[in-house]
Chain A
Amino acid sequence: MKKLPRFIAAAALAILLTVLLDHIFIPKYISENQDGSITREFYIQADRPEVIFLGASTVHYCISPDYLYKCSGITSYDRSNASQTLWQSYYLLKDTLTVSKPKLVALDVSFLKNGEEFIEEPSNRKVIEHMRDPVSKLGAVLSSAGDFEQPAGYFIPVLRYHSRWKDLKEEDFRYAFNAPCVTYDGYLMDSSIPEEQHIYEPEPIDDPSFAPKAEEYLDRIIELCKNEGIELLLMKTPTFVNSWHTEYDEALEKKAGSNGIRYINFSPLADEMGIRVRTDYIDDGEHMNISGAHKFTEYLGEYINNNYAPASDEDEVLKKKWSEKLGAYEKAAAEGMAAWEKAYEKYADGAE
């Protein structure tokens, strides 16, 4: 017992060192791969969001929570990530519920067709490693980590990233404990228009069924929302990729109907929103630039207000906070739109 204080001090020192190394070695996702910051920034930026968006990368390119607030008064956060699987969406939702309870969860269903064969370590890392609720995080790790990964590395990141000692940059030290926010409530702003856009015709599919594991977790999300009294919107963001089929829409409409929730595929409504493939996307009709994002966000805000009406302006403090955030966003968006317009002039030919 005499040595207990010394043992406690040694354990504390060990924990302190580990935390220090974790913070230095974990990738910062500041100057590149910024989508890796979305999970981390949720705990910093999100102010009691009424709507939470979940899904794959198309979501954080086409929905701007700040612009949504401006257009429709809805507070939200975009918790989508590149290649976010349905099981990751489920655990992110559980993690969200430990922080705040949204009124509506809007889930992009693009990844319903993708099973475990789509698991990739970088994507897993970006989604999971900054999650704060340990139980949700453990669930996400166990359901996501491939055989090639070491689950402990998600909780003690230096075990995974120690080999970065050769590649550490100044930003790894500078932002070790106070990394700045690089997204706008999860939205990644992009102003580019590519030189060419290729739109491929849909290919016929043999098996229109969803990946069993993805469907299992969709059911879990539905169940969780029901139990928590949260509205759930299943949506397909507007894309022109050839991997989505009407059979999927039919199956989802059936599932939504039987659970008393809504499903909407926004892709056929792109024209109505004024979205143009040539100038509103950054890559072959999949991820939107700022112009496309603003058009879709405005439409989505109207859709949510018409069908769910979650917007409330009872809380003056919250309103003030969002207005301040909006100021910063509008400044960045103005620059983004100016850059987009410049690109538009260059590639406007054939914009229709």
Chain B
Amino acid sequence: MSYTSLAFAAFTLGALIIYYLMPSRFRYLVLLAFSYAFYIITCGKYVIYILVTTCSTYIATRFMGGIYRRQKEYLAENKETLTRDEKKQYKEKSKSGARRIMVLTLLLNFGVLGVLKYADFTIANINMLRLTLFNSTGFLGFLNPVLPLGISFYTFQSMGYVIDVYFGRYEAEKNPFKLALYVSYFPQIIQGPISRFNELSKTLFAGAAFNSESFCIGLYRILWGLFKKLVVADRLAAYVDGAVNHYTEAGGTYLLLAVFFYSMQIYGDFSGGIDITIGVSKLFGVSVAENFDRPFFSKSVAEYWRRWHITLGTWFKDYIFYPITVSKRVLELSKKSREKIGEGFGKRLPIYLAMFTVWFATGLWHGAEWRYVVWGLLNFVILTFSTEAKPLYDRLNGLLKWEGSFAHRCFAVFRTFWIMSFLRVFDLSSGGVKMALVIIKKSLTDICPLTLENIELLGLDRQELTVGCIGILIMLIYSLRQRKGSIEEAILKLPIAARWGFTALACMAVVIFGSYGMGYNARDFIYLQF
């Protein structure tokens, strides 16, 4: 059941009616029932995986919570009699017990995710190694496991919660139904965002009263998401697919256009989906974390990653990057490298090590193929290079005397946009790294004039191209206007005639120009596959 389908609209409407008919304290149960219904309708028997994750998360966090509670009680009872060392020893013992539970839970859940998502990738590489090194053709058979819907998202979200409870950032949830809802909440199960328990739980279990303003904002957000997904992303996809499928014959400029359109497509697709998630959540009075902050206006790659898929970036930062950088071994390494290499690079080396791990994992998270790993590591290389070359940039900017100027900002935005767009070619190239490199090379070197006829041959006729370009322009204007605050709230403040006129036009634009139904290839959200 796609978020853009009428079935989903009907499903949400049914959920809303029952949700608001229920007394406030039972509303989270309605959401839980509908979340499981959504999962079962979409995935059937694979609901077992989400149940395993939910149960293991609940049991583990409750055990950890128990350990910390007992520790607190014991220390309070024996406050006067225990020495400082004895207290420390007791705390360490408790922590060690909790750690064992956390590690076991992480192993189980990431193990399931690993097997389902990466088993065939591993087998393919083993087969390749055997063939290359030993000329052996006794290939291992593939498992072809089915990837349950949203497994990466709910696994990361749940394990984030387990780690937070382990570190004592908040207490374990006692109500198993509430935890089950946190893991399975249907508007965000397909493509996130990866919400934090302490943030999402504030509104998810509150059973908020109906608020017409919040409801309208939610509807506008859904409308905007549908526009981005159906009018822009799915329309441009026709050209992107056409150009990439014919990358050997297509001229470089056509491929460059495809690279540009793919950036717009994936932004429209992913952020559009998130807009729908946030909008639907608002209808229920639930606040979900924002996942995008106008990323194409970033002036550096590092800034871009703070503004694109924010919740994933934060997850990796909080649960991989920081734990690595503060781990004993890395601190020791840092000390040694500072002694041997010097204060500058020696100090940064452990950070790069953590960054390497993060970007390797981010690449793998996006897909079990080497092109995704290469994509992740290229991000790492660019970020490292940017840091190391900063003094050089500063000197250059000093010479040009343009730092902070409008021209400099435009240049920085332009440069970041195209770096990220070219990196995305690895995501786009189903034929692997080699294909991605050919597309990048051709689009930079094989310059040829663009004609409407050829663009049409690759999938977009004159009218479709016009609508696609207008859609991109509207996205740009929207993003620029967003700097002044929420557009949805601004629309609500308009005089009623203007507001209704705008709403009618926006609805008509989506209904008429949306790429859906017969005559169009129905497209899943790109991030659904992750």
Cα distance A13–B497 when bound, in Å? 12
B411 interfacial contact with A, CB 8 Å: no
A158 interfacial contact with B, CB 8 Å: yes
Chain B: CB-nearest residue to A25: B512
A-B residue pair count with CB separations less than 8 angstroms: 44
Could you say which of B195-203, B382-390, B513-521 contacts chain A?
B513-521
- Is A149 in contact with B518, judged by CB distance below 8 angstroms? yes
B81 interfacial contact with A, CB 8 Å: no
- Is B512 in contact with A159, judged by CB distance below 8 angstroms? no
- A157-174 at interface with B (beta carbon < 8 Å): 158-160, 162-163, 165-166
For A3, A10, A153, the residue with the greatest tally of chain B CB atoms inside 10 Å of its CB is: A10
- Is B500 in contact with A159, judged by CB distance below 8 angstroms? no
B212 interfacial contact with A, CB 8 Å: yes
- Is A153 in contact with B517, judged by CB distance below 8 angstroms? yes
- Is B6 in contact with A158, judged by CB distance below 8 angstroms? no
Q: Is the interface of B mostly helix, strand, loop or mixed?
A: helix
A211 interfacial contact with B, CB 8 Å: no
Chain B: CB-nearest residue to A16: B504
- Is B512 in contact with A14, judged by CB distance below 8 angstroms? no
Q: Please give the distance in Å from A155's CB to the nearest CB on chain B.
A: 11
- Is B500 in contact with A13, judged by CB distance below 8 angstroms? yes
List residues of chain A with CB within 8 A of the CB of B520: 163
- The answer to whether residues A21 and B500 also contact, given A150-B517, A160-B517, A163-B517 and a CB cut-off of 8 A, is no
- Is A162 in contact with B514, judged by CB distance below 8 angstroms? yes
Chain A: CB-nearest residue to B5: A150
B463 interfacial contact with A, CB 8 Å: yes
- The answer to whether residues A150 and B508 also contact, given A10-B500, A165-B513 and a CB cut-off of 8 A, is no
- Is A163 in contact with B519, judged by CB distance below 8 angstroms? yes
B511 interfacial contact with A, CB 8 Å: yes
- Is A160 in contact with B512, judged by CB distance below 8 angstroms? no
Cα distance A202–B194 when bound, in Å? 67
List residues of chain B with CB within 8 A of the CB of A121: 518
- B467-516 at interface with A (beta carbon < 8 Å): 500, 504, 507-508, 511-514, 516
Chain B: CB-nearest residue to A24: B512
A148 interfacial contact with B, CB 8 Å: yes
List residues of chain A with CB within 8 A of the CB of B519: 163
- Is B504 in contact with A21, judged by CB distance below 8 angstroms? no
- Is B517 in contact with A162, judged by CB distance below 8 angstroms? yes
A150, A158, A166: the one contacting B511 at CB < 8 Å is: A158
Cα distance A10–B216 when bound, in Å? 12
- The answer to whether residues A17 and B517 also contact, given A158-B512, A159-B511, A165-B512 and a CB cut-off of 8 A, is no
| Size category of the binding interface on chain A | 20 to 34
A152 interfacial contact with B, CB 8 Å: yes
- Is B508 in contact with A148, judged by CB distance below 8 angstroms? no
Q: Please give the distance in Å from B212's CB to the nearest CB on chain A.
A: 6
B contacts with A, residue count (CB < 8 A): 18
- Is A162 in contact with B511, judged by CB distance below 8 angstroms? yes
- B184-241 at interface with A (beta carbon < 8 Å): 212
Cα distance A148–B512 when bound, in Å? 20
List residues of chain B with CB within 8 A of the CB of A159: 6, 511, 516-517
- The answer to whether residues A148 and B507 also contact, given A162-B512, A165-B512 and a CB cut-off of 8 A, is no
List residues of chain B with CB within 8 A of the CB of A165: 463, 512-513
A21, A153, A166: the one contacting B508 at CB < 8 Å is: A21
- Is A21 in contact with B517, judged by CB distance below 8 angstroms? no
Q: Please give the distance in Å from B17's CB to the nearest CB on chain A.
A: 14
Chain A: CB-nearest residue to B499: A10
Q: Please give the distance in Å from A122's CB to the nearest CB on chain B.
A: 11
- Is B463 in contact with A166, judged by CB distance below 8 angstroms? yes
- Is A21 in contact with B6, judged by CB distance below 8 angstroms? no
Chain A: CB-nearest residue to B464: A166
Cα distance A205–B528 when bound, in Å? 50
List residues of chain A with CB within 8 A of the CB of B461: 166
- Is A21 in contact with B518, judged by CB distance below 8 angstroms? no
Cα distance A21–B508 when bound, in Å? 8
- Is B463 in contact with A21, judged by CB distance below 8 angstroms? no
- Is A17 in contact with B518, judged by CB distance below 8 angstroms? no
A17, A149, A150, A166: the one contacting B6 at CB < 8 Å is: A150
Chain B: CB-nearest residue to A150: B517
Cα distance A13–B502 when bound, in Å? 13
List residues of chain B with CB within 8 A of the CB of A3: 212
What would 29 A/B residue contacts be, using CB atoms closer than 8 Å? A3-B212, A13-B500, A14-B507, A17-B507, A17-B508, A21-B508, A21-B512, A121-B518, A148-B518, A149-B518, A150-B6, A150-B517, A150-B518, A152-B6, A153-B517, A153-B518, A158-B511, A159-B6, A159-B516, A160-B517, A162-B511, A162-B512, A162-B513, A162-B516, A163-B517, A163-B519, A163-B520, A165-B463, A165-B513
- What 11 new A-B contacts, CB under 8 Å, besides A17-B508, A21-B508? A3-B212, A25-B512, A149-B518, A150-B517, A159-B516, A160-B518, A162-B513, A163-B517, A163-B519, A165-B513, A166-B461
| A contact residues vs B (CB 8 Å cutoff) | 3, 10, 13-14, 17, 21, 25, 121, 148-150, 152-153, 158-160, 162-163, 165-166
In order of increasing CB-CB distance, the 9 nearest A-B pairs are A163-B519, A166-B463, A162-B512, A165-B512, A152-B6, A3-B212, A17-B504, A162-B511, A160-B517
